Amino acid sequence: PELTKLQELHLSSNELIEFPVSIFKLISLEHLNISYAFESDDYTPGIEDFESLTELKKINVLSQDLFKEKSKHYKMLVKFLPADCKIK
């Protein structure tokens, strides 16, 4: 329960082998950094893995390197986030 108060989470530079769906329960999260978190050859998340970002109402910064700006998936990612959220 205390983790629900977490405001910033850095998962960057990891080799995650599955999508950490538990992050969607971090309702106070404001900054999520997943840049280079999926460097493993065994797993690459798809855009559908990010749909539940809609649960994170307070998020205002998402750092990621999976989807390139102006791509179809990037535009979908934007729709999952609050309007004032910056994607870095």
Tell me: the pLDDT tens digits for 23-32?
999 999 999 9
pTM equals 0.90
Per residue in 54-64, pLDDT (tens digit) is: 999 999 999 99
Q: Are 6 and 29 in contact (CB under 8 A)?
A: yes
